[in-house]
Amino acid sequence: MSGSGVSPQGTGPQLVVAPEELTSLDPGPGRMRSIPGSRMFEIKEALAVYRDSNPKGTVFDASQGDGGASLPGVPGELLDDAHRLQKEHGTGYDKPFGTEIFRRAVVEDYWRLDPVSGWGPLNVIACQGGRDALVKAYDAVQFLGHGRHGDFVVVSRVPWISYNWGPYAVGANVMLAPGLEDQAWALTPAAVRDCVETAGALDGRRVALVVITSPDNPTGRSMSPESQLDLARAAFAAGVPFVLFDWIYHRVTDGEPNDLNAFLRALEPAERERCIFLDGLTKSLGASNIRNAHLVAPEAVIRFIQSRASHAVIPSFHSQAVAISAYRMGFDRAAAGIIGPTNDSREVVEQFLAQHEIRHILGKGYYAFLDMGPWLERAEMDDTAALGSILAERFGLAVVPGVYFSEFGKNWIRFSYALPPQTTAAALERLWEGLSSL
């Protein structure tokens, strides 16, 4: 290696890259905060206290978003077909992007992408679930955007727990956008501009990515396609290189799911090259432990992720096979066992909250976000963490305290209605029993 400063005969240490290509010395990891484990995994432990004192009592888990645990999950015929595909395919290595058959199923059977958009199989990459997809996206936008670590990923004021820490683990910082509680902390174009300005005041940092989630976790807030497009355009105008649309819950709706063709048609070609779309099976098919998701993105982003994945996480074929089977069957039919009961439960939740006059956010997806402020004040509690323990340990009902997501949600709880409607109704009555006891 000429100019590398090592022996040309190769008898001494040899660098893999030239000295000018070495990664910069960065003391950041020594200063970074230790990333906490997700408290979501602690919630079910509190139910064990109730079970110990009420061995014959019924417990209700309204904390989770796993239809595979609370609803029928992936139909057996899909799993059988996926196993058949796996046997036909074999067990050798696949490509870092997944397989060609998966890409075609995503494009032709699921999204039914219009070739006029210019996007097709080369714009798709398979991932091992949503978290894997997001981490790969965070990595890509830092390199392909401003070309550096330390810039910001912008998320909503009360974000999904892993939005706080996933970007941080791969060198990005996280900023919670301005948002008003009485507007469900919705992102706005003005909030995006404020974030860019705030980042610039912090040692000249910039925003690498804005994440738009609809339906939202944890609030359930849903945004119209027009609002999502307005946000993306505001981000681009402010110098943000990429926007990621997290649509992992969008099929769980009693309305229309998001239409990727319509989105791509509404964007200018240059704007499309700055958009990343996430979807998958974990929520709408109840396939949490199958771990299949995909990104649809510009080819440059896909190629970057594909190269990195060849040295890291290559998606399993079995997870792709389940998706292929579901997409070929017709996804509405494949996911009916999750989507139908959840939609029915949403009606039960809406009626209950209106009857009891509980302030709430209720869009689509799996979750209702409920304001517990009046009961916290009555019980002199600082936030919903203590309330969550009481509901689980004394009343056998698991919910997620909003303070787990951010301090701005400290008076709220997330109630999951990914349950059969009769179970949802019983869980809500247990919630009211617990609140009335305070």
**Number of compact structural domains in the chain:** 2
110 and 201 share one domain: yes
pLDDT band at 1 (very low <50, low <70, confident <90, very high): very low
Give the C-alpha distances (Å, rounded to integers) separating 360 from 356, 385, 396, 409.
11, 18, 22, 12
Report whether pLDDT(287) > 50.
yes
To the nearest whole number, what is the mean pLDDT of the chain?
A: 95
Q: 207-226 pLDDT, tens per residue?
A: 999 999 999 999 999 999 99
pLDDT at position 64 is 85
Last residue in a domain, options 332, 351, 372: 332
CA–CA gap between residue 432 and residue 395 (Å, rounded): 10
314 and 385 share one domain: no
Flag the least confident range among 5-9, 33-37, 174-178, 248-252.
5-9
Cβ pair 430, 397 in contact under 8 A: yes
SS3 434: helix
CA–CA gap between residue 169 and residue 44 (Å, rounded): 26
Report whether pLDDT(238) > 90.
yes
pLDDT at position 44 is 78
19 within a domain of the structure (yes/no):
no
CA–CA gap between residue 412 and residue 371 (Å, rounded): 4
Q: 173-211 pLDDT, tens per residue?
A: 999 999 999 999 999 999 999 999 999 999 999 999 999
Cβ pair 278, 134 in contact under 8 A: yes
pTM for the structure as a whole: 0.95
CA–CA gap between residue 80 and residue 276 (Å, rounded): 32
340 and 413 share one domain: yes
261 and 350 share one domain: no
13 within a domain of the structure (yes/no):
no
58 and 103 share one domain: no
Contacts of 235 (CB under 8 A, 6+ apart): 192, 207, 210, 243
Report whether pLDDT(231) > 70.
yes
CA–CA gap between residue 423 and residue 67 (Å, rounded): 13
Cβ pair 417, 367 in contact under 8 A: yes
Q: What percent of the chain has pLDDT over 90?
A: 91
389 within a domain of the structure (yes/no):
yes
pLDDT at position 229 is 98
SS3 246: strand
391 within a domain of the structure (yes/no):
yes
135 within a domain of the structure (yes/no):
yes
pLDDT band at 73 (very low <50, low <70, confident <90, very high): very high
Please calculate the CA angle 192-201-35 and round it to the nearest 5 degrees: 75
pLDDT at position 43 is 78
SS3 279: strand
> Domain with 120 in it: what CATH number?
3.40.640.10
Q: 313-365 pLDDT, tens per residue?
A: 999 999 999 999 999 999 999 999 999 999 999 999 999 999 999 999 999 99
CA–CA gap between residue 367 and residue 158 (Å, rounded): 14
pLDDT at position 10 is 66
pLDDT at position 240 is 98
230 and 83 share one domain: yes
Cβ atoms within 10 A of the Cβ of 361, count? Answer: 23
326 and 339 share one domain: no
206 and 343 share one domain: no
> Domain with 361 in it: what CATH number?
3.90.1150.10
Last residue in a domain, options 332, 347, 382: 332
10 within a domain of the structure (yes/no):
no
127 within a domain of the structure (yes/no):
yes
| Parent domain of 228 | 76-332
Show the 3-state SS of 308-365: HHCCCCCCCHHHHHHHHHHHHHCHHHHCHHHHHHHHHHHHHHHHHHHHHCCCEEECCC
273 and 415 share one domain: no
Cβ pair 209, 141 in contact under 8 A: yes
pLDDT at position 224 is 96
Q: 367-378 pLDDT, tens per residue?
A: 999 999 999 999
As beta bridge partners, residue 369 has 361, 414
Flag the least confident range among 22-36, 134-148, 291-305, 391-405.
22-36
Q: 123-151 pLDDT, tens per residue?
A: 999 999 999 999 999 999 999 999 999 99
pLDDT band at 45 (very low <50, low <70, confident <90, very high): confident
pLDDT at position 7 is 55
279 and 147 share one domain: yes
pLDDT at position 14 is 87
Give backbone dihedrals phi and psi of 72, rounded to 5 degrees, phi first: -60, -20
What is Dmax (Cα atoms) for the chain?
Answer: 82
Pairing outcome for strands 152-155 and 360-362: unpaired
- Indicate the burial class of 34 (C-beta count within 10 angstroms; 0-12, 13-18, 19 or more): exposed
pLDDT at position 42 is 75
Report whether pLDDT(87) > 90.
yes
pLDDT at position 22 is 92
307 and 244 share one domain: yes
Last residue in a domain, options 312, 332, 352: 332
249 and 304 share one domain: yes
26 within a domain of the structure (yes/no):
no
